[in-house]
Each structure stands twice: as C-alpha cells, then as structure tokens.
Structure 1
Amino acid sequence: MSSSLHSRLVDAVGKPIVSGATPAGTVMLAEDIEREQGVSRSVVREAVRVLASMGLVESIKRVGIRVRPQSAWNAFDPTLIRWRIAGTGKGSQLRSLTELRASVEPMAAELAAKHCPAAMSDELMRVAAQMRTVGRAGDLEHFLELDIEFHRLVLHGSGNEMFAKLDEVIAAVLSGRTDLGLMPTHPHETALQWHVDVADAIQGGHPDLARQSMELIMRRTIAEVESAWTDTPRVFFA
C-alpha cells in the first residue's frame, strides 16, 4: 500500500469532517469512497481505521461509516490538531492548546528542576543557548525545530509520563503558530532569555524559578497569539 495514497485519503475524508463540510451523522459507504477517490478497498479500510482512532468516524455493520460529533473526537491527536489549526477551527484550537500549555508547562518545568537527569538538563541548556543565537539571526525554521525540542525536553524531564505524551501536541501548536504568521520574525530578546532562565533553573535544581520563568514564557505566548481567537465562541459538551 502506498503511504502517500493512504495519507491522501485520510486527508480527503478527514479534513471535511473537521471543517464541518461533512457534518456529524453523515453516513458514507466504503464503495462510494473507493470510487470517488480512485483507491482500493484495502486503502479505504486502513484510512477508516485511522479516522476511527481519531474518533471522527465509526463503522456500523450493514449501515456504513458514520461521522461522529465533535464531542467524540480525540482532541489530543496531532493530525486532527494540525487540520483544525489550518482550517476554520484555528481560533478555538489555538486557544485550547495555549491554555493547556499555560496550565501544564510551568508545572513540568518545576518537576524537571527536581527530577530531570543531568544529561537531559545539559541538553536543555544547550538547546536554549542555541535558540537565542538562531532567534537573533531570524531563522524561524531552525528556531521552530529548537523550540519544539526545548519544550519536549522540559515535558520529558518532568518524569511525568502523561506530560511527556503531550510533546507531539505541543509540537503541533508551535508549528501551527509559525505557519499562521503569529511568530515575530525575530523572537523577543526577553523571551529568549526566559528560555535560558528555565534551562538554567532546571539544571541548577531551582523549582520555583523554573516554574516562574516558564509562566513568563506562557504569558508572552498568550499575548502574541490571542488575536487568533478574539470573539471565537467556546465549545461546551453536555
């Protein structure tokens, strides 16, 4: 099976569900998808399996493939997050993820200052220093790679396996923020210093300072991206 063909079909069926073009309750037939997309039944089955794992669809015997409501979606799936950020749901998605980060990452930094292995904290310090150099140069593509690695190391350094599992989720929102042009061409000097401060506090075993410095980063992040969700209504699931 061609992985590109499979990915194309997942996108072709999944994106309209996430955008609302294919609304909840819609029933699709495998043979229709096969004919419309020009793919084999095995490719359809595998794509449906992936979409079902996201909570987007469910296969019902003798009925078809039914689209599920948003309340059933796996909100932490990185692919689903990327689709929402790139589509009409970007405001709501960015707000939810930014609020999640603001809640989790300061605690992760505090825990990392208590528990992070020396080799990991050394790497975090190296990445933070490199972020400052690359940020000053205005190389946003390389800066994004380093930023993702920085936050991944903090999450993993906490020693909390549930925090660590958020690394791909946070990578998705960092990438989306850059793709949407919500990152300054040259990251603020103070924000670059705060990343160094977080790394230094973790390396030096100062939990309170690590948490405080990460909270400053999160406040700056909210200030830079909140324009993306102005007037976007919140979603409440009964």
Structure 2
Amino acid sequence: MPLSLHNRVIDELGRAVIDGRSPAGTVLHSDDIAQTQGVSRSVVREAIRVLAAMGLVESVRRIGIRVLPQERWNAYDPTVIRWRLEGEGKGAQLRSLSELRSAVEPMAAELAAQHCPEELSAQLMAVAAQMRTVGRAGDLNRFLELDILFHRLVLHGSGNEMFASLDEPIGAVLSGRTDLGLMPARPHETALQWHVDVADAIQGGHPEKARAAMELIMRRTIAEVEPTWADTPRPYFA
C-alpha cells in the first residue's frame, strides 16, 4: 500500500482524537473512513492498527472503532507527543514531560557518573563542547540535534534500561520546544556551561556534581517554558 496514504490517514485520524474532534466514546466505521479519506479498506485497517497501538482507539466486534479516553493513550509515544505539542494540549504536554525530565534526568546523570562506559562519556564531553560552539553561533537547528544527542547519551549512560527508553519522548519535547519558538535566539551561556559541567562530572566520576548540574539545567528549562501551561488545569484520572 502507498506509504503516503497510510501515514495521511493515521495523521488525520490521530489528530482528530488528540484535539477532541473525535471525542472519547465516538464510534467510527471503516467504510466511512475509507470513503471520507478516499483510500482502500486495507489502508484503513493498517491505520487503525497503528492508532490502537498508541491507545487512541480500539476495534469492538459488531460495533466499530471506538475512540478511547486520554487515560488510555500511550503518553510516551513520540507521535502522540508531537500531535499534542502541535495542538491545544501543548501546555499540558510540555508540563508533563518537563516534570518527568526534572525527576529522571538528574538521577540519570548521577548514575551515568558511576556506570557510564569510558567511550560514551568521552562522546558526551565532545557533544557538550560542540553544543557550546554551535549555541554561541546561534545555529538552533544544529544545536537541537546535539541537545537531543546529549540527553540521550546521559539516559543511556545511566545503565538503566527504563531511563534509556525515555530518549524518544524527551527528544520529542526538545524538538517541540524549538518548533514552538520557546528557545532563545542563542542558548544562555550559563546553560551551555551546565551541559559541559554535567559531561565533565560524568567523565570524571563525580555523581553528586553530575546530578547538581543536571538539576540546574532542568530548573532553568522549567522556568523558561512554564508560562505555556500557567492556566492549564491538571488532569486527574480515576
């Protein structure tokens, strides 16, 4: 099947669920979707399979395709994160991931300083140095690539497979922050130095220093993006 059709149907149906145009409890039908989207039923079936894996819908025998409530969504799926960041839910999504990062990444840095392989810590140090050079030059696209890699290396360097599995969600929120224009034209010099401090502490085997430097990064990040969720209520799932 043409991949472009497949992706288009996933994107249109998924966004409709995320932004509330297809609210929880709505029942969709494959034939209607195929007709509306101008695609075959096989394309619709594959799209629904993908959306079901994201927790957005479920197929119910003799009923149709039921839209699921938010508590059933796969909150860590990078595509779900991207859709939320591009819609009205961007404030809540930024808040959730920023708070998650502030809880996980300082501990990841501390563990990386204890367990990170030498080759990985050397790469982390090189990336931090490149971030400072690129950040000072104001190349935000290249800085974003390096920033995503930096935090990925810290998570993987922790030796904790559950922390490592957060690399894609955290990469998605870093991308979203840049796409939403929430990054300064040039990263703050102090923030650039804190990244170097994290890398230096990890390479030198200083867990407390690594954790402290990462906590500074996280607090600065939250302070910069917090206005996006200032008036956003918190969801509470029973």
Settle same-fold status: TM greater than 0.5: yes
> How big is the shift at 1:150?
0.1
Q: 1: CA distance between counterparts of 2:145 and 2:151?
A: 10
> How big is the shift at 1:42?
1.1
User: What is aligned with 1:160?
Assistant: 160
User: What is aligned with 1:237?
Assistant: 237
User: What is aligned with 1:176?
Assistant: 176
User: What is aligned with 2:35?
Assistant: 35
Divergent runs of 4+, >2 A: none
Kindly provide the amino acid, as one letter, of the partner of residue 49 in structure 1: R
Q: Does 2:37 match 1:48?
A: no
User: What is aligned with 1:122?
Assistant: 122
Q: 2: CA distance between counterparts of 1:173 and 1:219?
A: 16
> How big is the shift at 1:110?
0.2
1:69-108 superposed matches below 5 A: 69-108=69-108
SS of 1:236 mapped into structure 2: coil
> How big is the shift at 1:2?
1.7
1:19-30 superposed matches below 5 A: 19-30=19-30
Q: Does 2:227 match 1:224?
A: no
Q: 2: CA distance between counterparts of 1:134 and 1:99?
A: 27
SS of 2:58 mapped into structure 1: strand
Q: 2: CA distance between counterparts of 1:222 and 1:150?
A: 18
> How big is the shift at 1:41?
1.0
Gaps of 5+ in 1: none
Q: 2: CA distance between counterparts of 1:210 and 1:155?
A: 13
Kindly provide the amino acid, as one letter, of the partner of residue 117 in structure 1: P
Gaps of 5+ in 2: none
Q: 1: CA distance between counterparts of 2:150 and 2:111?
A: 15
Residue deviations 1:13-53 (CA, integer Å, cap 9, x gap): 01010001110000000000001001111111110001000
User: What is aligned with 2:201?
Assistant: 201
SS of 1:182 mapped into structure 2: coil
> How big is the shift at 1:4?
1.7
TM-score normalised over the length of structure 2:
0.99
Q: 1: CA distance between counterparts of 2:151 and 2:6?
A: 31
Cα RMSD (Å): 0.5
Q: 1: CA distance between counterparts of 2:142 and 2:5?
A: 29
Q: Does 2:9 match 1:6?
A: no
User: What is aligned with 2:65?
Assistant: 65
Q: Could you tell which deviates more after superposition, 1-10 or 148-157?
A: 1-10
TM-score normalised over the length of structure 1:
0.99
SS of 2:48 mapped into structure 1: helix
Pairs aligned (count)? 238
Q: 2: CA distance between counterparts of 1:202 and 1:6?
A: 43
User: What is aligned with 1:17?
Assistant: 17
